[in-house]
Amino acid sequence: MILTTPFHPRTDAANRTGLWSHWQGYLAAERYQTSEKAEYWAIRNSAGLFDTSPLYKYRIRGADAERFLSGVLTRDVRRCQPGRAQYTLWCDGDGHVIEDGVVFRLGADEFLLTAARPNYAYFADLAFGFEVEIVDESTTLAGLAVQGPRSGRILASLSPEVRPLPYFGVTTTEIGGVPVTVSRTGYTGDLGYELWVGADDALRLWDTVSEAADGHGVVPVGQQAILMTRIEAGLILIDVDYRSARFAWTDTDRVTPIELGFGWMLGDLGDDRPFVGRDALRSHQANETARWLLTGLVVDWQDWDDHHRAAGLIPPKDHRPDHSEHMVYAVDETKVGWVSSMMYSPQLQRHIALARVRPDSAQPGTRLLLEVTIDHDYAMVGAEVTNLPFYNPPHKTAEVTQ
């Protein structure tokens, strides 16, 4: 059975294209307008409303909630104070990533964890012996992301608690007379917030935010616009940039946090926090066993244009995300990795890509070759390794003053 989110009466009315995709069994708008680029620019110039309700949401509470999560999550949740959130991962016993998500610390003994795939059984199996309760609120809690440079002033006009909220801060407040948890988080690399509200109050929240946003150029945005912004932000996507270790068929599909570029999450891997996969990650770190590193690539625009013009073609500048794999080579044409996500960035006016390449080829400034198909033949186009994110505006983390 196809499910609809609590916001569906509003998203359905706004969807002029009638284009929907499935997100974990729910209908999710691909785009509301004729062009997803218009929605993309709304995010970058004003703000967009994005229905995040299909995310899985787990409330974890009890006297042992912190101790339990610090033994499961790769990042040390003990350093996350009440009123803050963390982007985090969880791994299997071999140190391979199962999934990534965000954990919100709502109090000393209460957390909310979001994930793209179902993980209730995984966490519940590990909770034996802990004084902790795990409640699946995936269907009872709706999510609305308000993303873009005007999001702060719009939400601050509805709730004064929003204005002082720092990057990755969390607060509880009321908007439109309904209780809402607000986090300064998102999946766009821009200033943005995520609003978590009871499903029964979802439409009231949507209407209140929409009314406050009137005149600001704010529009509902679909999956395609969000996927464009997340590549510019250098944010990974499950089943595209990595596979969950639970479902990987081969070692090539399994990946460690170090290989995904998240070695910084591991800290010193000390003895005081024996989390799942720690010993394996110690070994990976000590023996430098990383097969590749996730990095950014910026394509040489002149080389791109020259190759296409030589084939008698107008050089394409396609902003739609390409999730098919493209092989990456060193300048001597030795294979060193592959691209998992690629697009032409409207903001940067360059082709950009997320790639996994060998550590000896992952230094920023390294010249590589990207294999693409031009006129039914393979071509090698120059590219340069760069740090992530590609797009990181100051207002993303700055104080909201207006």
pLDDT tens by residue, 298-314: 999 999 999 999 999 99
Distance of alpha carbon 182 from alpha carbon 180, whole angstroms: 6
The pLDDT value given to residue 106: 98
Tell the CATH topology of 293-386: Elongation Factor Tu (Ef-tu); domain 3 (2.40.30)
Q: Mean of the per-residue pLDDT values for the chain? A: 96
pLDDT tens by residue, 7-22: 999 999 999 999 999 9
- 73 pLDDT tier (thresholds 50, 70, 90): very high
- 268 pLDDT tier (thresholds 50, 70, 90): confident
pLDDT of residue 272 exceeding 90: no
**Which helix H or strand E contains 149, and what residues bound it?**
none
- 270 pLDDT tier (thresholds 50, 70, 90): confident
pLDDT of residue 107 exceeding 90: yes
Distance of alpha carbon 4 from alpha carbon 54, whole angstroms: 9
| Percentage above 70 pLDDT, the chain | 100
Contacts of 239 (CB under 8 A, 6+ apart): none
CATH class, domain 8-55+139-221, is alpha beta
- 271 pLDDT tier (thresholds 50, 70, 90): confident
The pLDDT value given to residue 117: 97
Q: Where are the domains of the chain?
A: 8-55+139-221, 293-386
Q: Report H helices in 157-255.
A: 202-213, 223-232
Q: What mean pLDDT is predicted for residues 76-95?
A: 97
Please give the DSSP secondary-structure letter assigned to residue 169: B
Distance of alpha carbon 166 from alpha carbon 161, whole angstroms: 11
pLDDT tens by residue, 141-172: 999 999 999 999 999 999 999 999 999 999 99
Q: Is the pTM of this model over 0.95?
A: yes
pLDDT tens by residue, 111-124: 999 999 999 999 99
Q: What mean pLDDT is predicted for residues 169-191?
A: 98
The pLDDT value given to residue 1: 79
pLDDT of residue 70 exceeding 80: yes
Contacts of 31 (CB under 8 A, 6+ apart): 17, 19, 39, 221, 222, 223, 224, 225
pLDDT of residue 136 exceeding 80: yes
Candidate from 16-20, 142-146, 175-179, 262-266 with smallest mean pLDDT: 262-266
Q: What mean pLDDT is predicted for residues 79-90?
A: 98
CA-wise closest residue to 221 among 9, 14, 392: 14
